[in-house]
Structure 1
Amino acid sequence: MFGHRTQEAVRRLENGADRAELELPGVTAAVIDATFEVERGEIFVVMGLSGSGKSTLLRTLNGLLPATAGRVLVDEADLTTMTAAQIRELRQRRMSMVFQHFALFPHRTVAENVEYGLRVQGVDRSHRRTRAAEALHLVGLTGWEDRLPAQLSGGMQQRVGLARALAADTEVLLMDEAFSALDPLIRKEMQDQLLLLQARLGKTIVFITHDLNEAMRLGDRIAMMRDGRIVQVGTAQQILTAPADDYVSNFIRDVDRARVLTAGAAMAYPHTTITPSVEPAGALDIMRRGGEAVLFAVDGAGRLEGTVTEAAAQAAADQGVTDVRGIIERSVQQVGAATLAGELFEAAATSDFPIAVVGESRKLLGVVTRESLLRALAPPPQAATESTGRDIPEVSANA
C-alpha cells in the first residue's frame, strides 16, 4: 500500500536525510544506516530509549521484517536476497530467539515447549527428549519437564524460553528485552545465568535492552541507538570514558561507574620508574624533582620488583649504599587490569602509596592513585542541553 512512499524514503536516506526528513505520511523510518558487525562468540547489546529502533533492528536481523535497503549477512549468507523458505530454514538451523513475554505454548508441558523448535526441524522424538533434557539442566529446570507454564513463576518461564533456544543449538541467539518483564532480583539471576551459559557455550548473542546497567553488565560491546541510528558502538568502558555525544553523556550519567570501570581504566602511568641498580641518591633526586614520595622499581623487562620510599632512600644514601636493591619494599598492593574500580576503594583509602596494576608476569601497566580513581569515577560534564530522544512507537519503514 505504501510502496511508493517507502521508495521515496529510501531515496532520501541514500541522499543523507535525517529521520525527520525521511518521515512521509504512513511511513516512519525505524532503522537508518545501521552498520555494525557482531563478532563470533560475543554478547552484542543494542540499547536505547523506547522508539529508538532497537527491536525493529533485531527483527530485521532474522528476516521477520525485511530491510528496505542494505544487507544483513550471517557469515556470507545475505538475508535480503533469500526466499521466505530460505529465511525460515535459517531461523530453524542457525538463529534462535528469546522473547520478552516468554512466548510459551500454555497447553504444552515444559519439555514439549523446549522441544518445539527441534520438532519443527524434524528431529526424532528420542533425540528431542535428550536435547530438551540437556537444555533444561543447563538452565536449572531438571524435574520440571512435565509441568505446564502456568505452574511456573515468571523467572522459570523465561528459563524455559532460554532452554528452548539452547536446545535448538543454533549459532546465534537473538534476545529481545528478554529479562525486562521480570522482577529485579529474578532479572539479576537471569543475567547471571546467561553469563554462566555464555562462558560455557560461547554463543553469538544479540541482546536488546533499554536498561543501561543491564547492557553494561552483559555486553562485550554495546550499540547505543537514537532515532533509528546507531550513535556509538564500544565496550562499556569506552562508552563511559569517551561518550560520542551529549545524548550518550546524558544517558550514562547515572550509571554506577564503580561496577563497570576497571583498574585499567582508572590507572595512570607512573611518571618515573627505576631499576634496582639505581643509587639511593639518584632515586632521591628523581623523587624531589618529580614531587613523588615513592618510586616503583622494575627489572629490565618492566616486571614489578616493588617500591622505594623517600625515607628508605635517604637512610640508604646516608649509609653509603651503592644501589636500592636492599631497600625495595616487595609487599606492594597490586591488582590486575580487569579488577573493578569498586574493589579498589579500601586499598586506596588505607594505603599511603598508589596501587600497582600489573599484567602477565607481573609487568607494571600503571598505578591507581586516589586522584586517578576519583577522576575515573566522576561522571562526564553536564551537557549544555538535555537530549533524551522522543518516546515514539517503533514502526517498520515498509509496514
Structure 2
Amino acid sequence: MQALQDINLQIFAGEIFVIVGLSGSGKSTLLRTLNHLIPASSGEVRFQGQPLAALSDRELIALRREQMGMVFQSFALFDERNVLENVAFGLEVAGVPREAREARAQAMLEKVGLSHVAKQYPHQLSGGMQQRVGLARALVVNPSVLLMDEAFSALDPIIRREMQSLLLVLQAEAQRTIVFVTHDMEEALRLGSRIAIMEKGKLVQVGKPEALINAPATPYVRHFFSGVDVSRWQMAENYADIWTTR
C-alpha cells in the first residue's frame, strides 16, 4: 500500500499551510516529501519551480540548511550543548564565525522570550521552553520555508496556545512559508491560511478555513469540525456574501 496517493498540491509563498489528519493518514510523510527526506516514488516535488529529485546530494543538503527549517514534536535538542549553542548550531554548520553566530542566536532567543536561559541546558527547561529553543534554532538561519511536524502536540493546552501565539507573532514580523502538520482542527483553524485534510494517504479537501467549514467535501471532513466553535469563519463567509457584486 502506498503511503501517499494522487497528491496534487501547490503551497503559496508566505502562507501558513496546515495539514490535518488522523494518525496514519500520511500527513507527516507528505511533509517529509517536501524537503526530500522521503523521495517521491512517482511524480515530482518542485521547490520554487525546481524539481528536488534533480538536485545533487550536496545541493539538497545546502537547500535544507539554507532555506528550509524544521521543527519536530520531539524537541531534538543537543543535551550536551547549552541553549545558546543549540540555537546557534545551524549557523555553526554553515560556517558562521562564533561571535557572529552567538550574537544572532542571542537575538533570536530575545524574540522567543528565552534570553535569560541562554547558558542553561535543555534538561533544565520545561517542555514549552524546550520547544521555544527548537523554534529559535530553526528560525535563526532565516529560512524561507519552515516545516513543523506536530510541533506543539506534546505541550499542555496553555503552553500550546502560547506557542501558537508566538508563531503568529513571528510570522507577522517576517513572513515565511510555513507548512504545519497537526491532528487538532482548532489549532489548524487558528494558524492556517489554508488547510489540507488527509485520509488514508489522500488529500480529501484543500481550502481556506471558511470554505471547508461551510462546504465540507465528505462526512470525514465534517467530522473534524464537530465540537469546534466555527462561528467566526461562518460569519466571515456570510459577510463576504453580502458584499459580493456581479
Paired with 1:50 and 1:120, the residues of 2 have a C-alpha distance of 34
The aligned counterpart of 2:126 is 153
Distance 1:202 1:269, change over 3 A: closer
Which has the greater radius of gyration? Answer: 1
Letter in 2 for 1:265: E
Distance 1:240 1:115, change over 3 A: same
Paired with 2:128 and 2:241, the residues of 1 have a C-alpha distance of 45
Q: 2:212 aligns with which of 235, 239, 261?
A: 239
Pairwise CA distance, 1:268 = 8.6
Matches within 5 A, 1:353-392: 365=243
Matches within 5 A, 1:161-310: 161-258=134-231, 260-261=232-233, 263-267=235-239
Matches within 5 A, 1:96-135: 96-135=69-108
Paired with 2:160 and 2:64, the residues of 1 have a C-alpha distance of 26
TM-score by length of 2: 0.95
Greater relative contact order (Cα < 8 A, sep 6+): 2
The aligned counterpart of 1:85 is 58
Matched, 1:72 2:45: yes
User: Which one is further off, 69-78 or 152-161?
Assistant: 69-78
Letter in 2 for 1:206: V
Matched positions, count: 244
The aligned counterpart of 1:94 is 67
- Is the CA contact 2:213–2:234 (under 8 Å) kept in the aligned structure 1? no
TM-score by length of 1: 0.59
SS of the equivalent of 1:44 reads: strand
The aligned counterpart of 1:143 is 116
Identity, % of aligned positions: 52
Matches within 5 A, 1:18-33: 23=1, 29-33=2-6
Letter in 1 for 2:175: G
Unaligned runs of at least 5 residues, structure 1: 1-22, 24-28, 271-364, 367-399
Paired with 2:100 and 2:42, the residues of 1 have a C-alpha distance of 40
Matches within 5 A, 1:48-63: 48-63=21-36
- RMSD value, Cα: 1.4
Paired with 2:209 and 2:62, the residues of 1 have a C-alpha distance of 35
Deviations 1:58-83 (A, max 9, x none): 11111111110111111022112222
Paired with 2:55 and 2:23, the residues of 1 have a C-alpha distance of 30
SS of the equivalent of 2:117 reads: coil
Distance 1:130 1:265, change over 3 A: same
Pairwise CA distance, 1:262 = 5.2
Unaligned runs of at least 5 residues, structure 2: none
Pairwise CA distance, 1:154 = 0.3
Which stretches of structure 1, 4 residues or longer, exceed 6 Å deviation after superposition?
none
